Structure 1
Amino acid sequence: MTATIAYDRPVSNLIDQLSATGHVTHTPYRKTSVTLHHNDGNVSRLSHQGVLNGWKTRKASAHFDVDAAGAVAQYVKVNEYAWAVGNKAGNQSSISIEMANATLGPNWTVAEATWKNAARLAGWNFAKVIGERPSKSNLFYHHHWTSTVCAGPYMNKIYDQVLAAAQEAYDHFKDSHPTPGPDTEPFPGASYFHTGQKSPIIAAMHQRLVAEDCNRYQSSANADIWGPGDVKSYAAWQQKLGLEGDDANGIPGKTSWDQLQVPNI
């Protein structure tokens, strides 16, 4: 099963179910923005599964959906193309987050629990995928890309609040690090990893990551494209070694270190 993002809250996994419809383009792109939408649907049918059912019959998709209670589901890997904004460049460069509308038009109101959790999720994506702080130049509503009222008049009125919530989440997530797990026993050279210095072993590991297409492993780890040598690319390498869960937390430790000794590189 394709993994969801490593969010700190539950994420319902509907990635493979949507992929089976053919409404996903499995090509990685550099993401530079987040786009918020309202579901534009019958309020009584806006469960995560209900949204998926709708996309099974029409060529549409988004990376995430946030329901009326604020719960999150993922449908498309964050670095892939979703059929969401009605604009090719936007679909390539933006991560789309759908929000359950609490009422129908003309206002298309969205519950506070929904938009606040969507903004928080946007902040996570800015911190962990895009690498830039949310601003008016990269946090958009659907109507930024094409002629539509989405995300609706109500969301237009509270855009500044949404942006502030996304920025607060970004500030929270940008300096967070993985929680150490079983694969984080001290080993020679570990301190080099977070200081920017490179021991011979770590330098050799970098070279091997590049030689064996680091980006491909990062993409398979549900990540965007990073250069080799950071926590996220090391986590991708650990997954390539067959490690799972806390053993693939992006922090060099004894389990993965034993497999990265010079004779094996």
Structure 2
Amino acid sequence: MTATIAYDRTVSNLIDKLSATGHVTHKSYRKTSVTLHHNGGRLSHQGVLNVWKTRPASAHFDVDAAGAVAQYVKVNEFAWAVGNMAGNQSTISIEMANATLAPGWTVAEDTWRNAARLAGWHFAKVIGERPSKSNLFYHRHWSSTSCAGPYMDKIYDKVLAAAQEAYDHFKDSHPVPRPDTEPFPGASFFHTGRKSPIIAAMHRRLVAEGCNRYQTSANADVWGPGDVKSFAAWQRKLGFEGGDADGIPGKASWDKLQVPNV
């Protein structure tokens, strides 16, 4: 069974069940935004799946009336959600159950707050940018529709603030210890699986704040424990030259990270 995201709350896995319909497009794209929808009904996760079994549509996630989350499409894959090809390629779509139907199309606070929290997780862990009005959208941003409804329009600023709060939480959810609290690991670190404070600090400073920008300009691999090439590339971004960019975390790397506006 395909795994869901590594979220800190339960995510119901409906990925394989939607994929079994045959209309899921398994193509991966870089995601740069999150789009919120209402599902036009007071639907359960299974109810959403039942609709998509007969209608070739999809979204990555659904948040039900109680705030519970289900996943239907892998995060980086194409979802048939926003009525716009570029949008379907670049955005992560999150459906929300309605609390009432037309004309108000209200959404319960448990639902929209949990959708905003999920969006914040994706901005921190997938997109690498803080949510703002330029990357947290409603469906109507992409095509001619009133989705996510008039009620959600009225509370957009609250939704954005909740997503930003979640982003800040997830971005800083792994505090970095000072380097003098444990020995600096050498090259053998990359085969131990231990968390180095230097690696963690570099990750927070460069990846969380500009993952794609740094990795593209440095021609580095995607970061991960054991990725010497990426660490060396980030050392070069911090001003290390020649053999000093050795891909090994040490005190010099930590000292560089303390310089403002690096």
TM-score, structure 2 length as denominator? 0.70
Asked if 2 retains the 8 angstrom alpha-carbon contact of 1:35 and 1:95, the reply is: yes
Secondary structure, in 3 states, of the residue corresponding to 2:78?
Answer: strand
* Equivalent position of 1:106 in the other structure: 103
Change (3 A) 1:77 1:7: same
> How many aligned residue pairs are there?
196
Mapping 1:10-89, distance limit 5 Å: 10-41=10-41, 43=42, 46-89=43-86
The match for 2:9 is 9
SS in 2 for 1:229: coil
Deviation at residue 192 of structure 1 after TM alignment: 8.4
Q: Secondary structure at the match of 2:26?
A: strand
Partner of 1:252: none
Q: Which runs of 5+ in 1 are unaligned?
A: 179-185, 198-225, 235-265
Q: Identify if the C-alpha distance between structure 1 residues 169 and 157 changes in structure 2 by more than 3 Å, giving closer, same or farther.
A: same
Give 3-state SS (helix, strand or coil) of 1:83's partner: coil
Once the two structures are superposed, what CA deviation does each residue of 1:206-230 show, in whole Å capped at 9, x if it has no partner? Answer: xxxxxxxxxxxxxxxxxxxx93333
Distance 1:23 1:57, change over 3 A: same
- Measured after TM superposition, the shift of residue 24 of structure 1 is 1.4
Q: Does 1:137 align with 2:137?
A: no
Equivalent of residue 143 in structure 2, options 146, 156, 167: 146
Residue of structure 2 in register with 1:228 after alignment = 222
Structure 2: runs of 5 or more not aligned:
176-184, 201-219, 229-262
State the secondary structure of the residue aligned to 1:96.
strand
Distance 1:116 1:231 in 2: 33
Query: C-alpha separation between the residues in 1 aligned to 2:151 and 2:227?
Result: 40
The answer to whether the 8 Å contact 1:64/1:98 transfers is yes
Q: Give deviations 1:89-143, integer Å, cap 9, x for gaps.
A: 0000000000001111122100000000000000000000000000000000000
**CA radius of gyration, larger in:** 2
What is the Cα-based RMSD across aligned positions, in Å? Answer: 2.4
Instruction: Tell whether the 8 Å contact from 1:23 to 1:61 is kept in structure 2 after alignment.
Output: no
Q: For the residues of structure 2 that align with 1:3 and 1:233, how far apart are their CA atoms?
A: 24
Deviations 1:150-189 (A, max 9, x none): 00000000000000000000000013349xxxxxxx9932
Match of 2:250 in 1: none
Matched position secondary structure for 2:21? coil
Note if contact 2:189-2:226 (Cα within 8 Å) is conserved in structure 1.
no
Q: Distance in 2 between matches of 1:232 and 1:142?
A: 40
CA distance in 2, matches of 1:72, 1:100: 11
Provide the residue aligned with 1:249 in structure 2: none
1:195 aligns with 2:198: yes
Residues in 1 aligned to 2:101 and 2:195: alpha-carbon distance in whole angstroms = 55
What does residue 166 of structure 1 align with?
A: 163
1:23 Cα deviation after fit: 2.5
* Percent of aligned pairs with the same amino acid: 79
The two structures have a TM-score, normalised by structure 1, of 0.69
The residue number in structure 1 matching 2:252 is: none
- Cα distance, 1:22–1:102 mapped onto 2, change above 3 Å: same
Alignment partner for residue 116 of structure 2, among 116, 119, 125?
119
* 8 Å Cα contact 2:63/2:70 also seen in 1: yes
